[in-house]
Amino acid sequence: MLRIIFLGAPGAGKGTISDIIEKKYNYKKISTGDLIRAEVKSNSIIGEKLRPIVDKGELVSDDIIVEIVKKRVTSKYINKGYIMDGFPRNINQAKELSKIEVDREVVIYLKVGNEEVIFNRLLSREICKNCEAIFNTKNKPPKVEGVCDICGGILEKRTDDNEGTIEERLRVYIEVTKPIIKYYEDKGVLYRVDASISIEEVFKKIGEILN
Ligand code: ADP
Ligand code: ZN
């Protein structure tokens, strides 16, 4: 079993790249952001509790997210490996994940040069209401404006992709998520990839790491 973990600031391309890796290699993608958004959309009791946290750009509690992740990674539908997008996001989550053993662990840190790139990417991001596919009106536009290439669903902005929330997400990232880079570096499993280049080039670099 292989575990690939993507680390990087919001807008670094974790979701986009994990979608590509999932398809090419047949590993299962586990995006905690997608899972949380699905919960919020379902209007469940827990979803209603999570909504304001996500909209503010804060992290949901470790108990909730760790339980969700553990259930997924031990699912019988995963046989070759899985990709973590958006998890772990702090040291405690990283330690919890390490308790789940795998044959090989690869951690890829997608590094973006500056905050301006991040703001630009997030402010022009659109996701499919139906399948969560990620588009970008500037860098990766859909074939038909406002319509998902994959399933024909309607594209929409994420409610947390606004300037105020992005600022808070970046602050949280720098304060609690960035320190896990060192955790994985010490573990000897960290690879750095420049994420300010094109998606194709990032994918090529990751292919070299995986092979
Ligand atoms: P981003 O595009 O900023 O990487 P995600 O789609 O991964 O955002 O996550 C969106 C929101 O979901 C986060 O701002 C946070 O509120 C919540 N979330 C996602 N993953 C986690 C996690 N591992 N721990 C706590 N909260 C999380
Ligand atoms: Zn779609």
Residue 135 counted as domain residue: no
Residues shown for the chain: 211
Ligand 1 atom closest to the Cα of residue 53 is: 16
Kindly report the pTM of this predicted structure.
Answer: 0.94
Q: Which of 82, 49, 42 is nearest to 63 (CA)?
A: 49
DSSP designation for 174: I
Q: How far is CA 19 from CA 51, 97, 107, in A?
A: 24, 21, 16
Q: What is the SS3 assignment for 1?
A: coil
Omega prior to 88 cis, within 30 of 0: yes
Residue 192 counted as domain residue: yes
Residue 128 counted as domain residue: no
Residue 95 counted as domain residue: yes
Q: Ligand 1 center to residue 168 CA distance, Å?
A: 12
Residue 120 counted as domain residue: no
Which residue is listed with tokens 């609690």? 176
- pLDDT-based confidence at residue 78 (cuts at 50, 70, 90): very high
Q: What is the SS3 assignment for 163?
A: helix
Nearest CA to ligand 1 atom 5: 33
Residue 28 counted as domain residue: yes
**59 CB less than 6 Å from ligand 1?**
yes
Residue 143 counted as domain residue: no
- In terms of residue numbers, what domain contains 94? 2-114+162-210
Q: Provide the CA 208 distance to its chain's centre, in angstroms.
A: 21
DSSP designation for 103: S
> Active-site positions?
14, 89, 125, 158, 169
**Nearest ligand by distance to the CA of 132:** 2
12-54 confidence digits (pLDDT tens):
999 999 999 999 999 999 999 999 999 999 999 999 999 999 9
**13 CB less than 6 Å from ligand 1?**
no
Name every residue whose Cβ is closer than 8 Å to that of residue 173 and which is 6 or more positions away in sequence: 9, 10
**8 CB less than 6 Å from ligand 1?**
no
The CATH number of the domain holding residue 44 is: 3.40.50.300
For residues 151 and 9, give the distance between their C-alpha atoms in angstroms, rounded to a whole number: 28
**155 CB less than 6 Å from ligand 1?**
no
Q: Ligand 1 center to residue 197 CA distance, Å?
A: 23
121-165 confidence digits (pLDDT tens):
999 999 999 999 999 999 899 999 999 999 999 999 999 999 999
pLDDT value for 166? 97
Please give the tally of structural domains in the chain. Answer: 1
Q: Is the pLDDT of residue 113 over 90?
A: no
Q: Ligand 2 center to residue 14 CA distance, Å?
A: 18
Residue 149 counted as domain residue: no
